[in-house]
Amino acid sequence: MVATLEPQAKIGKAAIGALGALALALGTLQAVVEPSLPMLQHDLGIGPAAGSLIFITLLITGAVVAPIAGKLGDRYGGKRVLVVLMTAVSAGGLLSSVAPNLPVLLLGQVLQGAMVGALPLSFILVRKHLPPGRTQVAVGVVSGLFTGGGLVGMLSAGPIAEHLSRHWMFAIPTIAIIAATLTVARLMPDDPPAESDARIDWLGVILLSCTLVGLVLGFTAVTGGGLPPLASAGVIVVVAALATGWVLVERRAASPMVDLRMLAMPAVWSAGVVTLLMSLGLGMAVYLVPQLLSAPASAYGFGADPSEIGVFLVPATVAGVVAGTVAGIAARRFGPRAVVTAGAAATAAALIALGPLHDATWQLVAARALIGFAVSVSAVALLAGTATAVDAKDTGIATSLLVVTRVIGVAIGAQTAGAILDAGTDPATGLPAESSFTTGFVTAGLIAAASLLAVRAMKKGTQS
C-alpha cells in the first residue's frame, strides 16, 4: 500500500504571518467608525441621518466587491488582485484620515470598502501555496486575526481620537495596512491565473453599484424632508429603473455577478428574506446603541466618550466571535431551522425590550451582545443550511447571495435608524427625542420578528 504524500508547501510562516498582519490591520480599520460615530457627527457638524452614511458607505462597496473578489483572483491571480485592492484601501484610509468634511470622508470609506475582498483572496493564496492540512490552519489564523482586529479597532479608536485626533484613528491602521501589503508582495510568490472562459460581469457590477448608491442617497434625501413630492417620486423612479436594469442584465449575462435564478429555489429565497429582515434589525441596533450611549447624561443618555463606547461594545464583538463556533455545533445537533428560529426570536425580544428598558448601560451592553450573538448564529446557520440545500456547484452562488443580502440589510437598517432619529431631533438642542430611540428599537424588533414568518416558509420550501 503506497502512502499519499501531501504537496510541498510553497510559502513559509513569514508569508502566512504577513497575511495575518494584513487581516489584523484591516479588521482594525473597519472597526474604528462604530464607537466614534457620535464624535465624527459632532466634529463634522452633521445630523444622525447624514452620520449613518459614514457607517454604511463601506458596506455598500463591500456588497459590490464581495461577489467578484474571488472571480477576479482566479482570473488575474490572487496576489495581484489583493495588492490592487489594498492599494485602494490604503488610499481610502489616508483620504479618511485627512478628510475635512463629510463628502471627502465618504469617498475615503468607499475606497476602504475594497477590504471586503481581502479574506477570499487570502484564502485563494493559501489554498494554492499550501497542502490541505496546513491550508485549514492558515485560513483559521487569517480569519481569527481579522476578527481580533475588530476588537483592537473597537478599543483603540476612542483613545487615539481623544489623545491625538480623529485623523490618526484612520491613519495608524492604514499605515499598518501599507506595511503589511508591501510585506505580502515581497514574501508571497506569484500565483498563476486560472484558465477560465467566464467573463466578469462588469455591467452588472456598475448597475448594482449605482442602484445601491442611489438607494442610500435617495433614502436620505426623501426621509430628510428637504425634497418636494415630485422630486421624491423622481428619486424613487430612478432607483427602481436602476434596479430593474440590473435584474435584466443579471438574467441575461453568461456569467452573472449574482445568479438571480437561484432566488426561485424556496431554500434560497426564504433564507434571503430571513437574512434581510434580521440584518435590518441588526443595522438599526448597531447605529442606535452608540448614539444613545453618547447622548448627554443631563438629558436621557450616558455621556459616554468614544473610548467608553468602544469598551461597552466589546462584549457584542466577542459574542459575534463565539457565535461562529456555537452555530456550527448547534446547527449540526438541532438543525439550521431550529437555530435560526431561536436566533430570530432572541433578536426580536432583545430589540423590543430595549424600547422601554434603556435606563442603564448594562441594559444596552447586554442587549447589544445578545443581538450580535443571535444574528451571527442565525447567519452561520442560514449559510450552512443553504449550502446543503443546493447542488454542490451552486454553493458559492447561493452563499454569496446571502452575504450580499446581509450587507445591504445592515446598511439600510442603519440608514433607517438615522432617519428616525433625524425626524425626532429638536432644532433647539440638536438632540433626538428619547421617544425616537424607543420607536427605533421597537421598529427594529418588529422587523426581526417578521423573519419568523419567513423561517416557516423556509421549512415548507425545504420539505417540498
Name the amino acid, one letter, at 403.
Answer: V
DSSP 99-131: --SHHHHHHHHHHHGGGGGHHHHHHHHHHHHS-
Instruction: Identify the bridge partners of residue 432 per DSSP, sorted by sequence position.
Output: 425
Q: How far is 183 from 14, CA to CA, in rounded Å?
A: 9
Q: List the chain residues with pLDDT less than 70.
A: 1-12, 49, 74, 123, 127-141, 143-144, 193-199, 216-228, 232, 257-259, 262-264, 324-325, 328, 384, 387-400, 457-464
Choose among 191, 212, 202, 201: nearest CA to 61.
212
Whether the CB-CB separation of 25 and 171 falls below 8 Å is answered with no
Q: Following CA atoms 410, 414, 415, 418 in sequence, which dihedral angle do they give, to the nearest 10 degrees?
A: 170
CATH number of 258-464: 1.20.1250.20
**Coil/strand/helix, residue 51:** helix
Q: How far is 35 from 49, CA to CA, in rounded Å?
A: 17
Determine the pLDDT at residue 3. Answer: 47
Question: What pTM was computed for the model?
Answer: 0.72
Q: Is the dihedral of CA 203, 208, 211, 216 positive or negative?
A: negative
Domain ranges of the chain: 11-190, 201-254, 258-464
Residue with cell 437555530: 339
Instruction: List, for residues 100-146, the tens digit of each pLDDT value.
Output: 888 888 888 888 888 877 777 776 777 666 665 566 566 656 766 77
Burial category of 464 from C-beta neighbours within 10 Å (exposed 0-12, middle 13-18, buried 19 and up): exposed
Q: How far is 64 from 89, CA to CA, in rounded Å?
A: 15
Whether the CB-CB separation of 31 and 154 falls below 8 Å is answered with yes
Choose among 143, 155, 161, 133: nearest CA to 8.
133
Q: Do domains 11-190 and 258-464 have the same CATH topology?
A: yes
DSSP-assigned letter for residue 192: P
**Coil/strand/helix, residue 191:** coil
Instruction: List, for residues 420-447, the tens digit of each pLDDT value.
Output: 888 888 887 778 888 899 999 999 999 9
152: which residues sit within 8 A by CB, 6+ positions away? 24, 27, 28, 31
354: which residues sit within 8 A by CB, 6+ positions away? 285, 363, 364, 367, 441, 445
Which helix (H) or strand (E) covers residue 333, if one does? helix 306-334
Q: What grid cell was written down for 207?
A: 448597475
Determine the pLDDT at residue 463. Answer: 42
Whether the CB-CB separation of 216 and 53 falls below 8 Å is answered with yes
Which helix (H) or strand (E) covers residue 163, if one does? helix 132-163
Q: How far is 222 from 216, CA to CA, in rounded Å?
A: 10
Determine the pLDDT at residue 81. Answer: 84
Determine the pLDDT at residue 324. Answer: 66
Q: How far is 87 from 97, CA to CA, in rounded Å?
A: 15
Q: What grid cell was written down for 195?
A: 484558465
CA angle centred on 384, ends 211 and 388, rounded to 5°? 100
Determine the pLDDT at residue 442. Answer: 94
Whether the CB-CB separation of 432 and 298 falls below 8 Å is answered with no
Residue with cell 431554500: 267
DSSP 392-453: GGGHHHHHHHHHHHHHHHHHHHHHHHHHHHHHTB-TTT--B-HHHHHHHHHHHHHHHHHHHH
Options 3.30.390.10, 1.20.1250.20, 2.30.30.90, 2.40.128.20; CATH for 11-190 is: 1.20.1250.20
Determine the pLDDT at residue 195. Answer: 59
